[in-house]
């Protein structure tokens, strides 16, 4: 451990986030941002309830006489699963439920999606990403040396969501994103924007050969400006308008649907499990559990002591890492020695390649000024 190592006195974010700042109490800027900008505008009380009621009314009005009134992306994770339950059973909505199959679904994810779809009597729209393209895209990211090698999966999800919304002319997107478990956000240095098309194009040109004829691409301009303001597609996050306790939601889903919990957030994808559980901490020293646990600490769902204890063990055991390492290499069609080479190559940052960070920063400032975003990701 380096001598200038420091950890926040309130959460578990530390100097592995190189841009972290501490105030005189030793409290980090993630905590301060939450207290100053997010918490005061977060209404899980009657105000939130009224907001949600009004949103549901608008969605129903929009969907009158139509097959669907909103769209919901299902990963099989806790947030989207619980939201799907609420949408159908509590709100009485008619969501178009879609899933993006990027080739890395865990058995638990498949089972969780199926049990919910079956019990709720819904149809599932599955978008299967062309595997040869996905494989080449992911290999391109490994070769780039960048931290965020999960962009090929993330981007496909976002692009498919907006494609469906546009194709079926659906005005509302239900999003399971929530303050309760995500109020601390991954630093940009760890997980850079997956919709920076300039950087994506550069990575494709430099490290890939596949022409990517069917992979779904979507620029941030298209979905944040064109679809949001021209086509008026609205994103609604109902989990922010009610008390949302993740452990309770998971127990409920297990009891009600036979849904199975995951050992860690985002572990519904085998690739993401390997990437967040092993690759990022091992290669870069970035442990996304610090972000997840810090969110739970700030919202009263985990003690700091418990988080520190959990962080003292790696997310995956040596045995799990060995199996995953071999699985990932085989599936990507490379030798383990090649994957090892990518693990050990010089570290790169998004700043090392052409990027549109200025544009994202500018957009974030405008959105904050307009009150659309409460805090700025950094």
> Which positions touch Zn ion (CB under 5 A)?
8, 10-11, 13, 28, 30-31
Q: Output the CA torsion sign for 15, 322, 144, 276.
A: negative
Specify the residue, 31 or 93, whose C-beta has the smaller distance to Zn ion: 31
Query: Two tokens at 117?
Result: 């779809």
Q: Which is nearer to Zn ion, 27 or 242 (CB)?
A: 27
CB of 7 to Zn ion, least distance (A): 8
CB of 40 vs Zn ion, minimal distance in Å = 17
Indicate the residue among 32 and 120 with the shorter CB distance to Zn ion: 32
Closer to Zn ion by Cβ: residue 28 or 97: 28
Smallest separation (angstroms) from Zn ion to the CB of 41: 19
Least distance in Å: CB of 350 to Zn ion? Answer: 24
Rounded Cα gap, residues 320 and 81, in angstroms: 26
b (16+ CB within 10 A) / e for 331-359: ebebeeeebeebeeeeeeebeebebbeee
CB of 11 or CB of 291, closer to Zn ion: 11
Residue 35 CA to residue 41 CA, distance in Å, equals: 10
Give dist(CA 83, CA 119) in Å, integer.
15
- Find tokens 């498949």 and name the residue: 110
Three-state secondary-structure class, residue 139: helix
Report which of 360, 349, 364 is spatially closest to residue 196, judged by C-alpha positions: 360
Question: CA–CA separation, 359 vs 33, rounded Å?
Answer: 22
Measured from the CB atom, is 195 or 295 closer to Zn ion? Answer: 295
Mind spelling out the 3-state secondary structure of 164-180? HHHHCCCCEEECCCCHH
Query: Which residue lies nearer to Zn ion by CB, 108 or 376?
Result: 376
Q: Residue 72 and residue 85: Cα distance in Å, rounded?
A: 11
**Burial category of 163 from C-beta neighbours within 10 Å (exposed 0-12, middle 13-18, buried 19 and up):** middle
**Toward Zn ion, which CB reaches closer, 176 or 187?**
187
In the complex, what is the shortest distance from the CB of residue 278 to Zn ion, in angstroms, rounded to a whole number?
25
Q: Token pair for residue 294?
A: 């810090």
Backbone angles phi, psi at 329, to 5 degrees: -60, -50
Residue nearest to Zn ion (CB): 8
Write down the least CB distance from residue 285 to Zn ion, Å.
Answer: 18
In the complex, the smallest distance separating the C-beta of residue 288 from Zn ion, rounded to whole angstroms, is 15
3-state SS of 22-38?
ECCCCCEHHHHHHHHHH
In the complex, what is the shortest distance from the CB of residue 26 to Zn ion, in angstroms, rounded to a whole number?
9
Say if CB 254 and CB 119 are below 8 A apart.
no
Closest CB 265 distance from Zn ion, rounded Å: 18
- Nearest residue (CB) to Zn ion, 191 versus 227: 191
For helices 197-207 and 131-144, angle between their N-to-C axes, nearest 10 degrees: 90
């Amino acid at each position: 451990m380096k001598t200038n190592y420091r950890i926040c006195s309130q959460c578990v974010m530390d100097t592995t986030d190189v841009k972290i700042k501490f105030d005189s109490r030793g409290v980090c800027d993630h905590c301060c941002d939450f207290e100053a900008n997010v918490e005061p505008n977060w209404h899980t009380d009657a105000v939130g309830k009224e907001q949600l009621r009004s949103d549901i009314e608008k969605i129903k009005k929009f969907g009158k006489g139509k097959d669907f009134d909103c769209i919901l992306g299902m990963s099989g994770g806790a947030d989207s699963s619980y939201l799907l339950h609420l949408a159908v059973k509590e709100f009485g909505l008619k969501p178009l439920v879609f899933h993006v199959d990027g080739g890395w679904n865990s058995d638990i994810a498949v089972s969780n999606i199926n049990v919910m779809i079956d019990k709720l009597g819904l149809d599932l729209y599955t978008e299967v990403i062309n595997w040869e393209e996905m494989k080449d895209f992911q290999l391109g990211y490994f070769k780039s040396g960048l931290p965020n090698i999960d962009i090929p999966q993330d981007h496909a999800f976002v692009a498919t969501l907006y494609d469906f919304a546009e194709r079926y002319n659906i005005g509302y997107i239900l999003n399971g994103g929530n303050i309760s478990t995500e109020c601390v956000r991954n630093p940009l240095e760890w997980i850079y924007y997956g919709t920076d098309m300039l950087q994506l194009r550069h990575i494709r040109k430099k490290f890939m050969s596949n022409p990517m004829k069917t992979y779904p691409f979507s620029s941030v301009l298209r979905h944040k400006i064109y679809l949001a303001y021209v086509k008026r597609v609205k994103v609604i996050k109902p989990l922010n308008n009610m008390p949302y306790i993740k452990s309770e939601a998971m127990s409920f889903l297990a009891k009600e649907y036979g849904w199975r919990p995951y050992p860690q957030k985002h572990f519904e994808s085998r690739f993401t499990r390997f990437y967040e559980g092993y690759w990022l901490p091992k290669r870069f020293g970035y442990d996304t559990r610090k972000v997840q646990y810090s969110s739970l600490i700030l919202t009263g769902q985990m003690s700091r002591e418990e988080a520190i204890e959990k962080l003292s063990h790696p997310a995956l055991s040596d045995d799990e890492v060995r199996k995953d390492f071999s699985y990932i290499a085989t599936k990507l069609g490379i030798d383990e020695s090649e994957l090892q080479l990518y693990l050990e190559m010089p570290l790169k940052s998004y700043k090392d390649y052409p990027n549109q960070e200025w544009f994202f920063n500018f957009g974030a400032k405008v959105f904050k000024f307009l009150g659309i975003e409460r805090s700025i990701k950094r």
